[in-house]
Amino acid sequence: MKPYPNPLAAALLTGLLLTAGCATAPRPPPPAAEEIVDLSKAGVPADAIIERIRESDAIYDLPASALARLRDQGVSDRVIDEMQQTRIDAARLQGFRAGRDAHPWYYPYYRWPSFHHGYWRWWP
């Protein structure tokens, strides 16, 4: 008689291979401001440039003068808004992490109103 493979082992191996493939996918490098100008001059749609910025998780900390220069060089207002939004999102995430790290006992229970005000802090 032929031994049948264990279906649980086969499912676990398949899941491991699928998740390992997803975890090793490299992110594209973030486009520099000069590259965004070149893409805009080449006629690439603003949606494609915005998608590339979002895929790379780039953070653009540019002063207002650099943003004005980008606009003068032909970059779409939507792309410039997205570049500004990356910095705003990074600052929000940094603020959230600072609050979470300052009060680690509070954040695991922030969704349940009965656990507010540090009730579980004094739990033995």
Angstrom distance (rounded) from CA 117 to CA 34: 49
**Distance between alpha carbon 14 and the CA centroid of its chain, in Å?**
27
Q: Quick one: average pLDDT of 3-8?
A: 68
Predicted structure pTM score = 0.62
- Give pLDDT tens digits for 41-78: 999 999 999 999 999 888 999 999 999 999 999 999 99
3-state secondary structure 68-114: HHHHHCCCCHHHHHHHHHHHHHHHHHHHHHHHHHHCCCCHHHCCCHH
Q: How confident is the model at residue 2 (pLDDT cuts 50, 70, 90)?
A: low
The pLDDT of residue 123: 47
The pLDDT of residue 39: 94
Tell me the pLDDT of the chain averaged across its residues. Answer: 79
Q: Are 105 and 121 in contact (CB under 8 A)?
A: yes
Domain residue ranges of the chain, discontinuous segments joined by +: 28-101
